[in-house]
Structure 1
Amino acid sequence: MFGTASIIVGGLVAAVTSPLQLAHGSWAAAYLVLVNGVAQIALGASQAALAAKPSRAAVVGELVAWNAGSAAVIGGTLMRLPLIVDAGGLLLVIALAMMIATVHGKAAGPGWALWTYRLLLVIVLVSIPIGLVLAHLRAA
C-alpha cells in the first residue's frame, strides 16, 4: 500500500517538476518511485514469501522506520538540511536491520529467493552512505 502510493505520488511529482521548475523535483520523483516505492514493495513481498511468520510489531516497525526515513531524506534534501537526511538514512538502516532479523537463517522459501532478498538489502544498504555524502556535498 505505501509502496504503491509512493509510486503514484512519484509520478505526480515527475509530472509537475518541469512546469513548476522544482530544483530537486526529478530526484524526489525518482526517490519516491524507486526507493520508497519499488524497493519497499520488492522487500516486503520477498519478506512475506521468505519469513516463517513475521510479527505484526516487526512489520509495523519496518514500515514506520522505512517511510519516516524516506520522508526525512526527501524533506532534508529539499530543505538543504543534511543532518535531517542523516537521520532519515539512520532510520532506513534500522528498517533494513529489522528486515534482516525478520528473515534470518534458513528461510521458508527457495534458496535463490533468499539470496536475491539479501542482495537487494545489500544494494540499498550500500546506497545509503553514498546518498548521505551527496546530500552533504549539495548542501555545502
Structure 2
Amino acid sequence: MLETRAVVVRKEAGVTLVRADGASGCSVCEGKGCGSSKVTQLFCNKPREFQVENRINAAVGDEVIVATVDGTVLRGISLVYLLPLALMFAAATLASVWSGGQDGYVAAGALSGVVAGFAIAKWISIRPSRQQPYITRLFIE
C-alpha cells in the first residue's frame, strides 16, 4: 500500500478533496537524492486536488494520510504507457503488412494506434473504480 501526506481542502455532498504535498517524488530522501523533486517541480508547478474516500470523516484543514491499494500505480502506468505503445506497434505492423511496407501508411498506422491507446486509456480511467484512494488516518507529527 502506498501512502502520502495530504490536507483536506473541501468536503461536499459525499466528496472529499485533498491536496497532496508534492515537494518530493517519495519520502525516502525527501527530495535530496535522486532528483525526483526537480522533475515534480518541473511538471507539477501548481497544487493539485484529488478526490478520495473519507473513511474517518476528516474535517477541512486536517492533515491526513492517504493510501492507495497495491497495484493501482502499476495499473495506471500500464494504461498511460504500455497500452498506447502496444497499440502503436500493432497498428504499425498491420499497416506495414497491408501496405507492403510503405512508410507513410506505417507512420499513419503508428499514429492512429497511439491515439487509440490514449483514447482507450482515458475511457478506462474515467470509469468508476473500486481502487479509489482513501484517507487512512490523521497525520500526527
Q: Which has the higher contact order (CA 8 A, sep 6+)?
A: 2
**TM-score of the aligned structures, taking structure 1 as reference length:** 0.29
**TM-score of the aligned structures, taking structure 2 as reference length:** 0.29
Which protein has the larger Cα radius of gyration, Structure 1 or Structure 2?
2
